[in-house]
Amino acid sequence: MEKYYRSATDTHINCEKPRAYFIPFSTASIGERRREMSPAYISLNGKWDFAYIENTDAFLPLDDSCPKVSYTGKIPVPSNWQYFPELTPDVPQYINQDYPFPVDPPHLPDVIPSGFYHRTFRLTLNNRRYFINFEGVAPCFYLWINQQFVGFGSVSHCTNEFEITDYVQDGDNDIHVLCVKYCVGSYCEDQDFFRLNGIFRDVYILERENNCIRDIFVRRTVSEDLKTADVSVELKSDSGIAVNWVLNDYKFKKITSGSTDGSFEFTIENPDLWNPEEPYVYNLSIQAGNEFIDIPLSIRRFEIKNRTCLLNGVKFKCRGVNRHDMHPEKGYAVDYEHMRRDLLILKRANVNMIRTSHYPNDPRFLEMCDRIGFALVNEADLETHGMGYNFGDWYWDYWSHICDDELYKNMCVDRAVRLYERDKNYGCVLLWSLGNESGCGENHRAMAKYIRSRDPQNLIHYENAHLEYSKRVNRDFSDISDVESRMYAPIDYLREYLADKKQTKPFFYCEYVDSMSTGDVYKYWDEFNDIDGYFGGCIWEYADHAVNIGTEDAPLYRYGGDWGEYPNDGYSCIDGVVHPDRTPRPGYFDMKKVYEPYSCEYSKGYINVKNRKFYTDSKDIYIEWSVETDGKVVQKGTIDSPNIAPGNTRTYGLFEDKKFSGNTVLNVAFCERTAKPWAKQGYEITFSQFILSEEKIDLHGEKKPIEAIESKTEIIVTAMNTRYVFDKIKGTLKSVMRNNMELLDRPVQWNIMRGTTYNTKDKMNDWLRARYDKVKQKTYSVDFDINDEYAIVTMNIALSAAAMPPAVKGKVIYKICGDGVMTISFRGDVTHNAPPLPEFSCILYLNSDYESLRYYGYGPFESYKERHRAARLGYYRTSISDNLEKYIKPQESSAHFGTRLAVISGMYNTLAISATRPASFSFNALHYTWDMLYNTKHYDELKPLKTGVIKITYDLDSYAYSFDDKHIDFEFDIKI
């Protein structure tokens, strides 16, 4: 047997030519139907015999005969064998950029494992033809039917189809599949995901008539005035074939029909054009003999004019996201319901475009996108990221080796062919992507040429054909991609590109805002939303990749390195806006907010509402508004069916202009008037909030005389049954008691250290070099003063670590009033040459009695200065235990930006904290210290303290970066 997996040219043996995806039925369609309803569809999913083979070279027979082996157990198909430790020693391996084997193409390791599959299936032969389809096998496989070698297939995420008419028999049949772990094609599949193997998509047989339609190619040409759509349908069969065809509307009512021999054409007058907001899908039914084939037909015109992307003549922007095809319990084996669930979740987040990063999805995914309403960047199964590594340096030229070498040309072009031919009939595909992070070379040019040759209207995407890469390698790739695509390019670069009148391509962020810890997504839209040359972008990425080794009800998520595999990239795969189980992370709400289809501005009792949709008016929504003062609704109203045309603005009066008192906000919610497949009636699409008035929340009350005692070591101040004890030696507030109940578990701490977020873990090296984690307080002096109204304890302190100068010096003032309120202030400066501080905060360690939490700030989920727009300013109730955001890898998290008041209650006493200077602070309450979060690998391994760790943080610029101010002026009140 030939070792095809070691060949760069023998990528497919005896495979059918790639064709459009369709399933023949035995009757005409009267509505949408799943392929399982077709009698021609024979599923081979289920339990298969399985054996793990340690050495494929040694296992393959010398001839084409089927190998024999003792099976070790049963494995479900579809699945990945790394999810079954009882069957294989192989484990999941998460790698971002590296190859899992030496980078020496086309060579592979001497010993390559494989998985050997077997099952029996029963057929009743009916003088028909039989075609077996493998929709996804990673990365390649051999096929035997009834002990006879049928063929070899590769390209993990593309369909391999074989005609097996001459191999099957009436009654029971045997099928054997040998899936090899690596092949030369693996050099093309170095994507950022878990490296898994096996038969991971459906396997099925199609029973076809002897003379049947083998391929269908639907071309649509919409006139420039959008009044006509010319549709040509090219049919391929083994010999001439007579067909009857019917074009139905989206309700499957007949529009027109015809009969012909072979290919045909028709014209639709005043067509209903497809777009993601109104995804109108015709149904084209083609009958050949006793077979009926349904083709979902979406008609649209997508073009680039004057550097602007036009969909149906309208300026269109991508409000997109990257989506990997991954399931926490099933790996690559993503079922229909899971795909549909993902799309509904994304629809609820106002997403209109998906990039299939970085390979073709299940073919049914495209029909769902057509019908639910998502545009696609449909990407080829090609990434050679690891080719760029060269002993620590980035080897820019060699990065393109696979995609520039003639040896691999057919291998690369084959991936474009299989992408395009399978999905060519889906109108939701706006851009055909040639892959990801593979340098750029002649093979990319050949891929683009093929796709354009099939239909000149096709538009191509490829990120590494951008200007900067061309300059770096001194080559011109401008003819490859129709858009100037970049990932994570700085805002300044975007600004300069859009200002450069010589540039002719629209700018597209194929990846931006890595959601490992969502940064400021809004800056990519605030300035550029209305600029024609900006096509938008796709957030990286939709869902965390993780393997659940627990149960669905009690998940235990694991990531790279948790199986001891080498190489691995740790938790870089925990980078979605939703968790693996699809519960939203806070970043999901930021994505939903920045992609909002409606926005409004407020002025003097009026709101100006803008419809940011591209195609649909706002009649199918209603607007609810309410005025809340100190957390209570004092006025509200509804605007039913506001009729605002796309892109237009309309003004609505809510109330007479007046001055408000207290802490008053106006909330405006945009809601679904009718139920949608993705949302119930009343679902909030987006919201706006406006602060109408603000007042400092005053904790002061009736005052009584203050009592104080000072000794050599302590200062004790008592006011309104609250007793404050200061340690003069250490310069700390060490005890707070009310009614003989202790508040503090340990002394109050001034702090500059925190953990990092996923995206900023490299910052930790700077902080550790500065020894910020070792900082302790040095007290220079403690002074005490008292009068009839208040007592003041003043401390001059520094925060410094051994072998380092002080990072911060300043004055701490504790001012205790006769009503028991204590004002805590810090005025000081960061040492001029100290690296930016992680933060500046005051930490109160509360005893275990304190658990209940209320706050007036931005919630209900975590919020930070650069990403709080999706949160609302309001009054919230939770607990210290529930305040933690459940990130798989614990990180700096769970704070609430803009907090004016925080109240923590125990069984006997309540602690209130009110902002004074500035008017708000960032507030956090957890049962964990920063180092506990930083040093714990998995959320389920966290061991909470009984202590409540309450952190009041001064003007934290960004949880993604650091505290850059050199002067600190911070004050807040507390009262028990």
Closest by Cα among 187, 295, 185 to 231 = 295
Do 574 and 667 lie in one domain? The reply is no
For 162-221, give the secondary structure using H, E and C.
Answer: EECCCCCCCEEEEEEEEEECCCHHHHHECCCEEECCEECCCEEEEEECCCCEEEEEEEEE
Q: Which long-range contacts (CB under 8 A, 24 or more apart) does 226-230 make?
A: 226/271, 226/273, 226/301, 226/312, 226/313, 227/269, 227/270, 228/267, 228/268, 228/269, 228/270, 228/271, 229/267, 229/268, 229/271, 229/273, 229/299, 230/265, 230/267
Do 489 and 388 lie in one domain? The reply is yes
Whole-number Å distance between alpha carbons of 833 and 855: 36
Give the list of residues 6+ apart from residue 14 with CB closer than 8 angstroms, or none.
150, 151, 152, 162
pTM greater than 0.85 (yes/no): yes
Do 126 and 195 lie in one domain? The reply is yes
Among 171, 189, 208, give the residue marking a domain's end.
Answer: 208
- Judged by DSSP in three states, 236 sits in strand
pLDDT, the chain, mean: 96
Closest by Cα among 36, 23, 20 to 426 = 20
Is 242 contained in some domain? no
Least confident of 51-65, 271-285, 748-762, 847-861: 748-762
For residue 418, count CB atoms less than 10 angstroms from its CB and return exposed for 0-12, middle for 13-18, buried for 19 or more: buried
Rounded to the nearest 10 degrees, what angle do helices 336-348 and 363-372 cross at? 30
- The amino acid at residue 882 is D
Q: Determine how β-strand 649-653 pairs with β-strand 664-672.
A: unpaired
Do 639 and 722 lie in one domain? The reply is no
Do 714 and 607 lie in one domain? The reply is no
Closest by Cα among 213, 233, 200 to 117 = 200
Whole-number Å distance between alpha carbons of 347 and 341: 10
Q: Tens digit of pLDDT for each residue in 764-780?
A: 999 999 999 999 999 99
Q: Tens digit of pLDDT for each residue in 194-205?
A: 999 999 999 999
pLDDT of residue 872: 98
Phi, psi of 467, rounded to the nearest 5 degrees: -60, -40
Q: CA-CA-CA-CA torsion for 557, 577, 589, 858, nearest 10 degrees?
A: 60
Is 272 contained in some domain? no
Asked whether 811 and 795 are in contact (CB, 8 A), the reply is yes
634: left (phi over 0), alpha (psi -120 to 50) or beta: alpha
Asked whether 377 and 538 are in contact (CB, 8 A), the reply is yes
- Cα-based distances in Å from 635 to 126, 663, 735, 750: 73, 14, 45, 43
Q: Tens digit of pLDDT for each residue in 255-278?
A: 999 999 989 999 999 999 999 999
pLDDT of residue 867: 86
Among 593, 616, 650, give the residue marking a domain's end.
Answer: 593
Domain with 547 in it: what CATH number? Answer: 3.20.20.80
E strand map for 238-382: 242-248, 254-261, 264-269, 282-288, 291-297, 302-305, 308-311, 314-315, 318-322, 353-355, 375-379
pLDDT of residue 746: 97
Closest by Cα among 843, 839, 884 to 861 = 884
Among 208, 229, 261, give the residue marking a domain's end.
Answer: 208
pLDDT of residue 964: 65
Whole-number Å distance between alpha carbons of 700 and 753: 32
Give the list of residues 6+ apart from residue 768 with CB closer than 8 angstroms, or none.
none
Whole-number Å distance between alpha carbons of 538 and 543: 13
pLDDT of residue 516: 60
Strand partners, 926: 949
Tokens of 882: 């529930």
Cα of 96 vs its chain's centroid, Å: 15
At 960, is the pLDDT very low, low, confident or very high (cuts 50, 70, 90)?
Answer: very low
At 961, is the pLDDT very low, low, confident or very high (cuts 50, 70, 90)?
Answer: very low
Is 541 contained in some domain? yes
pLDDT of residue 966: 85
- Judged by DSSP in three states, 370 sits in helix
Dmax (CA) of the chain: 107
Asked whether 352 and 319 are in contact (CB, 8 A), the reply is yes
Report percent pLDDT > 70 for the chain: 98
Do 891 and 934 lie in one domain? The reply is yes
Give the list of residues 6+ apart from residue 490 with CB closer than 8 angstroms, or none.
none
Do 604 and 744 lie in one domain? The reply is no
Range of the domain at 416: 323-593
* Mean pLDDT score, 962-974: 84
Is 315 contained in some domain? no
Asked whether 594 and 522 are in contact (CB, 8 A), the reply is yes
**Interior/surface letters 653-681, b for 16+ CB within 10 angstroms, e for the rest:** ebeeeeebeebbbbbbbbbbeeebebbee
Rounded to the nearest 10 degrees, what angle do helices 409-423 and 363-372 cross at? 40
Q: Is the peptide bond before 677 cis (omega within 30 degrees of 0)?
A: no
Do 400 and 346 lie in one domain? The reply is yes
Q: Tens digit of pLDDT for each residue in 299-321?
A: 999 999 999 999 999 999 999 99
Is 191 contained in some domain? yes
Give the list of residues 6+ apart from residue 551 with CB closer than 8 angstroms, or none.
none
- Judged by DSSP in three states, 677 sits in coil
pLDDT of residue 520: 80
Give 392's Cβ-side CA count (13 Å radius): 0
Give the list of residues 6+ apart from residue 820 with CB closer than 8 angstroms, or none.
719, 720, 721, 722, 738, 975, 976
Do 862 and 830 lie in one domain? The reply is yes
Q: Tens digit of pLDDT for each residue in 25-49?
A: 999 988 889 999 999 999 999 999 9
Is 250 contained in some domain? no
Phi, psi of 570, rounded to the nearest 5 degrees: 55, -130
Q: Is the peptide bond before 78 cis (omega within 30 degrees of 0)?
A: yes
pLDDT of residue 517: 54
Is 609 contained in some domain? yes
Whole-number Å distance between alpha carbons of 69 and 922: 63
Give the list of residues 6+ apart from residue 402 with CB closer than 8 angstroms, or none.
105, 187, 188, 384, 387, 408, 411, 412, 438, 443
Q: Tens digit of pLDDT for each residue in 655-695?
A: 999 999 999 999 999 999 999 999 999 999 999 999 999 99
Do 904 and 776 lie in one domain? The reply is yes
At 958, is the pLDDT very low, low, confident or very high (cuts 50, 70, 90)?
Answer: very low
* Mean pLDDT score, 839-858: 97
Phi, psi of 212, rounded to the nearest 5 degrees: -130, 165
Tokens of 681: 């009636």
Q: How many residues does the chain have?
A: 976
Q: Tens digit of pLDDT for each residue in 201-220?
A: 999 999 999 999 999 999 99
For 506-559, give the secondary structure using H, E and C.
Answer: CEEEEEECCHHHCCCCCHHHHCCCCCCCEEEEEECCCECCCEECCCCCCCCEEC
Give the list of residues 6+ apart from residue 526 with CB closer than 8 angstroms, or none.
none
Do 723 and 751 lie in one domain? The reply is yes
* Mean pLDDT score, 45-65: 97
Domain with 722 in it: what CATH number? Answer: 2.70.98.10
pLDDT for 652 beyond 70: yes
Do 851 and 725 lie in one domain? The reply is yes
Cα of 696 vs its chain's centroid, Å: 39
pLDDT of residue 29: 86
Asked whether 586 and 544 are in contact (CB, 8 A), the reply is no
pLDDT of residue 547: 97
* Mean pLDDT score, 324-353: 98
- Judged by DSSP in three states, 589 sits in helix
pLDDT of residue 519: 61
Domain with 676 in it: what CATH number? Answer: 2.60.40.10
Give the list of residues 6+ apart from residue 67 with CB closer than 8 angstroms, or none.
59, 60, 61, 116, 176, 178
Phi, psi of 532, rounded to the nearest 5 degrees: -60, -40
* Mean pLDDT score, 50-75: 96
Domain with 114 in it: what CATH number? Answer: 2.60.120.260
pLDDT of residue 757: 82
Q: Is the peptide bond before 139 cis (omega within 30 degrees of 0)?
A: yes
Closest by Cα among 615, 611, 629 to 670 = 611
Whole-number Å distance between alpha carbons of 537 and 487: 9
Is 165 contained in some domain? yes
Q: How many domains does the structure of the chain reveal?
A: 4
Report percent pLDDT > 90 for the chain: 94
